Amino acid sequence: MARIDHPGLARKVVPADAAAALIEPGDTVGMSGFTGAGYPKAVPEALARRISGAHAAGEPFRVNVWTGASTAPELDGVLAAADGVDLRLPYQSDPVTRAKINAGEMDYLDVHLSHVAQLAWEGFLGPLDVAVVEVSGITADGDLVPSSSVGNNKTWLDRADRVVLEVNSWQSPDLEGMHDIYYGTALPPDRLPIPLTRPADRIGTPYLRCAPEKIVAVVETAAPDRNSPLAVPDETSRRIAGHLVEFLEHEVERGRLPATLLPLQSGVGNVANAVLAGLGTSRFEGLSAYTEVIQDGMLDLLRSGTMSVASATAFALGPEAQEEFLRTAREYRDRIVLRPQEMSNHPELIRRLGVLAMNGMIEADIYGNVNSTHLMGSRIQNGIGGSGDFARNAYLSFFLSPSTAKGGAISSILPMVSHVDHTEHDVQVLVTEQGLADLRGLSPRRRARAVIASCAHPDYRPLLEDYLERADRGAYGRHTPHLLTEALSWHIRFLETGSMLPR
């Protein structure tokens, strides 16, 4: 019990099965976790076993699961496989969970990540029965040392009737002091300004707090976080990164950005990581980040000194970067700030700091509307996550994607997106390996010409040009010309033939 210094809480240590037995059918459970970091490792698996046993005995047993964002197979995967989840929110990336959602066997509420804590405090989502939260230690005073993600943990601990803690000794002890937990939020009309003006500002406490009497069980673990390894940047990702870095250099030369840029936000994934790698070989210095997650590329920027500070709510490190961080965490303690996601994704703070937001997309249409969540209009992939929090409020909003998918059978640039997450009003710059389209100040038809010329793959560019020309002649209105009888025909053609290209 080296990580549990509070005598009263040390006496509450139980096996994971005993802790899972405190969760009842129909309970709403708030679990820690944001990406594959800081999620409970033992209790969800024990709960899945309990649920499977209940189902085998013919007894219904499902729970509602709230988290910070996506988690890992030991949480989302096992509970979904046990058919134990009735409602999941606010974001997921697990293949078993995704299959259940798209089969209509699990309800899913896809929510802007900045909204979740507020919805919970409003009571709109109903009561929170249990919180299951991983921490990396408990002090003698009962303060909770947060783990490798913060997410919505502050809210879960505050709102839950019962709390189960997992104390994970695998996590670096040098995480202590890296967190900034702000307890100054309130609902209107009692809301006050948040005193944060720089990514490095620390405005709270390094610890989470929870009344000891609410904590009904403590489980000890020593299990690693699990994030998928990031691929080595390929030529497509490097070209996307090159276009974006060149654009930023141009904006600095024109005097529209400072030489140190503005705080960066980067979504999760290989393309985003390639952009960070591109910044590492650029001429930029003194960078900062105000983002959701710290990926391998951002850790590289901090290590090299290219980035001075990064504020986030979680890590999303591949296995090698994770091992390196465990060895050297103390070196980053003054340059990494981990906050609750209601702070990392706070729209007003994003606007105040002037964040440069870089997020991935599934598809964009010629007018700049972006779909980042659904395949062919109805099949959820992951969720909107924090991309909407940042895109709507950023100083500059970038959306990035290869121009094609499925070996060229799908175009990422289309006449009309099959689902809209980010409207043309929130999308300023589109980037593919083909080029970059700066949509600021352009009317819809001019945006369309820029997107087709700069971002579309050559195999699809003539088809898009033909569509725009005919739409401009035959649409009901010419402000945003569309041929409604064929605007979504590319998606239909793919579903029917396996390719968006005509045969």
CA 331 from centroid of its chain's CA atoms: 25
* Cis amide bond preceding 73, omega within 30: no
Where would I find the beta strands (DSSP E) of 23-106?
28-31, 63-66, 85-89
Q: Are strands 429-432 and 435-438 parallel, antiparallel or unpaired?
A: antiparallel
Beta-strand ranges (E) seen in 232-331 are 264-266, 287-290, 293-294, 307-312, 314-315
Closest by CA to 230, choosing from 260, 275, 198, 283, is 275
Longest dimension (CA), the chain: 77
Strands (E), 243-292: 264-266, 287-290
Specify the amino acid at residue 78.
Answer: V
Beta carbons of 65 and 41 less than 8 angstroms apart: no
Residue 400: what are its φ and ψ, rounded to 5°? -125, 145
At 31 the three-state DSSP class reads: strand
CB atoms within 10 A of CB 28: 21
Cα–Cα dist 339/345, whole Å: 10
Active site residues: 292
Which is nearest to 296 in space by CA: 322, 335, 331, 275? 322
**Residues near 57 by beta carbon (within 8 Å), at least 6 away in sequence:** none
Q: Is the peptide bond before 146 cis (omega within 30 degrees of 0)?
A: no
